[in-house]
């Protein structure tokens, strides 16, 4: 469903992505990990064209992301994205956050959007908060709303960019639970995360990145069993021993 | 030393200008100050919002255009700008348009002052709008785009509603400045409040009373603007956020 072929990206002289190639099949959950500054977030933002790239191709269900003729808003409306800092719109209530893109992008009526939004809000366990504003919710609650907001668009795949990194420790699990449930329902997911417990539980494959390159791209069992690269072994030993 | 003797009765004496009593002379000035500042402000907000926005979009050409606007209008004294619009522009325009401006345009001092003030203040509004937009986390724009909103929709529904809330306090001073700056228009003959004040001083010789009365009128205007903006700030307050006039 998502195919990334030989993607390279530069900020001026500095190369942030080097020749990245991988793919995500329909229904697959792929976890992208690696030390900070390794280009994981940049790579995932290339998938829906939030970051431009200078070489290589990315296709989502056959549509080329880098092609200037591609209708990017249309493509993005089919790919949900969840951000590290939630990025709910603070001036809109929770229901308005859930309805905005359904109405303005998909052209759904207000009642239909509301119904859909409230159903998803219920699913992430926050129906009681519908009338509140983002600033009145905890970080974990905000991130669950953000997931519901992305799901309201009926996406064919979901991108997660470090969804739990900005959360207080006690709120990490409520967000991971929603993500695990989503994975079990067969959602195609690409997740940048350091949550190895999540990876062990639901990932099909794990990609390890370092200095802008994909160093390792392996089935979960192989990755946790015997990572081939020394860099990945060091990384794992550092984050698993704490 | 002579003791200060103020004769407030002068305000009710007939002025030799044919405008009625002196208080009415000042009131006419107040009316023109109000009209000029309000129309100037509307132009400033409309033009300033556009210029501020194009300075933040990912188009080099547009942001250069916006930067150029701000540089030009912010770097030249307002008085010089007014003289340019009033005396120079008609000479630069094609014959027909130029002579229309000089001979048939209704209330040329007023329209020149309002538009000139608007364009001058727009540069300052644009600067505020730009910094308001840039003060928002970059992720907000990404979040809007990632849901499939176009860049225009992202500005309309996501970025601008927050950016404008953030810049209400600095915009309040700009709004108050339009009233104060409108006094410059006396130089092209607009009979606004400061112009009328000068007239009254000349005819009545009551310098102190005239200036005191004018001061009071300007202060009332400024306080009204201030209250209006505080009310808008309160009404647009976002629940759960400290910024934007919280409790």
- Subunit contact B238:A91, Cβ cutoff 8 A: yes
Chain B partners within 8 Å of A89 (Cβ): 140, 143-144, 157-158, 162
Measured at the CA of B74, the angle between CA B177 and CA B230, to 5 degrees, comes to 30
Chain B partners within 8 Å of A81 (Cβ): 142-143, 146-147
Separation between Cα atoms, residue A18 and residue B137, nearest integer Å: 28
Reply yes or no on whether the pLDDT at A177 is more than 90. Answer: yes
B78: left (phi over 0), alpha (psi -120 to 50) or beta: alpha
B32-189: CATH homologous superfamily? MetI-like (1.10.3720.10)
Strands (E) located in B36-194 = none
Phi and psi at residue A206, to the nearest 5°: -125, 130
Separation between Cα atoms, residue A156 and residue A77, nearest integer Å: 9
B104 is written with which tokens? 């048939």
Chain A partners within 8 Å of B149 (Cβ): 73, 100-101, 104-105
End-to-end CA distance of chain A: 35
End-to-end CA distance of chain B: 52
- Residue of B147, B156, B160, B161 to mutate when probing chain A, most A C-beta within 10 A: B147
pTM for this structure?
A: 0.87
Q: What is the pLDDT along chain B (247 residues), one digit of tens a residue?
A: 556 677 888 888 888 888 789 999 999 999 999 999 999 999 999 999 999 999 999 899 999 999 999 999 999 999 999 999 999 999 999 988 888 888 888 899 999 999 999 999 999 999 999 999 999 998 999 999 999 999 999 999 999 999 999 999 999 999 999 999 999 999 999 999 999 999 999 998 889 999 999 999 999 999 999 999 999 999 999 988 865 433 3
Of the partner residues A89, A101, A136, the one whose CB lies closest to the CB of residue B240: A136
CA distances from B84 to A145, B77, B78, B87, B191 (A): 55, 11, 10, 6, 19
Distance of alpha carbon B208 from the chain centroid: 28
Measured at the CA of A112, the angle between CA B150 and CA A149, to 5 degrees, comes to 50
Helices B60-75, B108-135: crossing angle, 10 deg rounding: 130
Reduced DSSP (H G I as helix, E B as strand, rest coil) percent helix, strand, coil of chain B, to 5 = 80, 0, 20
Strands (E) located in A51-122 = 55-60, 63-64, 79-82
């Amino acid at each position: 469903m998502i195919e990334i072929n030989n993607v390279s990206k530069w900020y001026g002289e500095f190369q942030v992505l080097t020749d990245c190639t991988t793919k995500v099949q329909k229904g697959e959950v792929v976890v992208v990990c690696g030390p900070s500054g390794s280009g994981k977030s940049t790579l995932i933002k290339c998938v829906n064209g939030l970051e431009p790239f200078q070489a290589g191709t990315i296709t989502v269900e056959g549509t080329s992301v880098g092609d200037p003729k591609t209708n990017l808003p249309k493509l993005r409306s089919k790919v949900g994205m969840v951000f590290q800092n939630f990025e709910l719109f603070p001036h809109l209530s929770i229901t308005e956050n859930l309805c905005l893109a359904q109405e303005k992008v998909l052209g759904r009526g207000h009642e239909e959007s509301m119904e859909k939004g409230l159903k998803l809000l219920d699913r992430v366990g926050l129906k009681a908060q519908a009338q509140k504003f983002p600033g009145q919710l905890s970080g974990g609650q905000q991130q669950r709303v953000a997931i519901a907001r992305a799901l309201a668009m009926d996406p064919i795949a979901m991108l997660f960019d470090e969804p739990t990194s900005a959360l207080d420790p006690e709120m990490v699990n409520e967000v991971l639970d929603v993500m695990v449930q989503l994975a079990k329902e067969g959602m195609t997911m690409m997740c940048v995360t350091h949550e190895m417990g999540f990876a062990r539980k639901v990932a099909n494959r794990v990609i390890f990145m370092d200095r802008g390159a994909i160093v390792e791209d392996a089935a979960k069992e192989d990755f946790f069993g015997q990572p081939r690269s020394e860099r990945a072994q060091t990384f794992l030993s550092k984050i698993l021993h704490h | 030393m002579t003791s200060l003797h103020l004769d407030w009765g002068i305000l009710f004496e007939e002025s030799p200008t044919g405008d009625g009593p002196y208080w009415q002379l000042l009131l006419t000035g107040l009316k023109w100050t109000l009209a000029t500042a309000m129309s100037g402000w509307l132009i400033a907000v409309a033009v300033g919002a556009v210029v501020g926005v194009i300075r933040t979009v990912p188009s080099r050409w547009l942001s250069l255009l916006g930067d150029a606007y701000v540089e030009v209008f912010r770097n030249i004294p307002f008085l010089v700008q007014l003289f340019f619009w009033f005396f120079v522009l008609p000479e630069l325009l094609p014959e027909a348009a130029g002579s229309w401006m000089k001979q048939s345009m209704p209330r040329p001092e007023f329209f020149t002052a309002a538009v000139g003030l608007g364009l001058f203040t727009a540069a300052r509004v644009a600067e505020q709008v730009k910094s308001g937009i840039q003060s928002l986390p970059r992720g907000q724009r990404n979040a809007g785009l990632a849901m499939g909103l176009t860049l225009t929709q992202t500005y309309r529904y996501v970025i601008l509603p927050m950016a404008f809330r953030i810049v209400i306090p600095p915009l309040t001073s700009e709004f108050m400045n339009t009233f104060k700056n409108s006094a410059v228009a006396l130089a092209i003959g607009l009979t606004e409040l400061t112009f009328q004040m000068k007239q009254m001083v000349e005819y009545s010789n009551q310098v102190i009373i005239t200036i005191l009365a004018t001061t009071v009128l300007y202060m009332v205007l400024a306080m009204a603007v201030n209250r209006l903006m505080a009310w808008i700030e309160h009404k647009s307050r976002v629940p759960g956020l400290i910024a934007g006039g919280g409790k």
